[in-house]
A and B are shown apart, each in its own frame.
Chain A
Amino acid sequence: MREISYARAGMEALVEEMRRDPTTIHLATDAPPSLVEEFGEARIRATPITENAFSGIAIGAAGSGLRPIVNWSMVTFCFVAMDQIVNQASKIHYMFGGQQTFPIVFRSSVGGGTSLAAQHSQSPYSMFMNLAGLKLILPATPYDMKGLLKSAIRDNNPVLSFESTRLMGFKGEVPDDDYTIPLGVADVKRTGSDITVVALAWLVHEALAAAEEMAKEGVSVEVVDPRTLFPMDNETIRASVQKTGRLVIADEAGPTAGAAAEIAALVTEDAATFAALKAPPKRVCALQVPIPYSPGLENHVFPDRNRIIAGIREVMAAG
């Protein structure tokens, strides 16, 4: 099978869905020439640098029959549009009694590892998990990127697509044929029997590397990638932990009230899963600080395969 990059897979999903559905439009502060050439300036809009305005425009266009795809570029810039995301997009279907659908995709890159310092190295998805009314995808492979983004574009709700900065050049197998991946379905990226590592985005790959390393020591690691943060696939995660009895959660975001905390809660509050635990769950997250610039500082803050390995060893030693 052919291999393409994570970024390319996102572009293929966008282009194929825009071909498939003439009501799709693209709003971003730049208009990629290849998109303008194929779809025209009417559908590929270069906006002023006004995230609050063009995110609101997307909501109004969606409520008027279009399917806007917004690209904030970095998640950094979505904070300028928080009124439209939090007060409007997440609630508008509900507070109007479900009378209108608002199909919108908001794309942005998340995570660090590229010395872009505090503002441009964020992973704030848990802030949006906390709202009712938004779906959130966080693909870790080119295959998942394409399949999830296509589903997001076809979904009748606002969907936030968080895309890992570190993975943009990462290559993987992607079929030529049209396919989608349903939202809310996790993927077991590696099966194992001793411990479950639920990992997000770039850390899926670090967890797989850690699993390879631990296998040499005779520890069988299962790696689960939720792929969608809302809706979260509680069943797959709980089933894995019931099987292994141990859990490490790896996330590039900080731990406080984060996705990792949510995953720990959904495991421990379920009686059957709790009863199967042999040791306390462990979070392996970024340190709770703004992300610093200098590589030595940045590397100190982010988790990686070595910290996942340390986490696995700690949980294995505990029971």
Chain B
Amino acid sequence: MRSFLFNFGYFIKESGRVIRLNLMSNIFSVLGTGLILFLLGIVITGTDIGNRLVIMLNEEAEVNGYFSENITAEEREALADKIGSMDGVRSTRIVDEDEAKRRMEDILGEEAKILELFDENPFEAFIEIRIDIDATDYVIDGVKNSPGIEYVRDNREVLEKIQDITYALKILGYLMMAAVGITTLIILSHMIRQGIYNNKDQINTLRLLGSPGTFISFPYILTGLFLTLLGGILAALSISFIINGAYNGIGGTIPFISLPPREELINKMFILLPGLSMALGLLGSLFGLSSIREK
């Protein structure tokens, strides 16, 4: 341990020498690692935005329960309260015939004139039921089977599709993580092995002088850590650039989509990618070093 501390400056210098010895190859390794981590960062950011969208839609998820004919106002109130107490229901509110018409007029805009053709209000009153998206099936069944409810309208298909997309993004994220991990390990261990090969005479001499394996290995571990960290920082910078550009570009045009705060996404990238890159750098270096056989 004492030797280790005394020689820390030497290790740093050695690591720099190992990098300089194969400078171009190491630059390409950094770029390669950076590119892979960049792709991972994009997938993670996409998953984050997708998750946020699902949470938002989850909060907005609702089904509408339409009343049977001849139901009294008191019975409507009682039914709304009863449904409101069901598991998976966030809230209920009765939308009467007039409000239903007003909403349609808002949707139709200038085309709302068409509604003047009706002598009477053609819209029915209904209960607006906000639900947990995970309890959609359960709530719909419960509402359908409630006495006083004629039928239920839901947007389950849309919600399910969004859920599927987010799920696919998550799977893609995991696959990307695995791909990034394996690729970085291969790139890095190859690079370390190359470095070891280039320094095989020196390593052999150190062994003959009795140098401990850790003393020989440490500069290579530092090299791996440094190069992947550089790749990680490069990836985080690129992604923050992309996120900033995307937020400035589309933030105003789709105000109805609530995106996660950009600082949150950028900060996550600056913690996650360099951290992940260092872990991969360490593993890759150890993997590369494990290939050295004692003779």
A, B from the same assembly: no
Report A's interface with B, CB cutoff 8 A. none
Report B's interface with A, CB cutoff 8 A. none
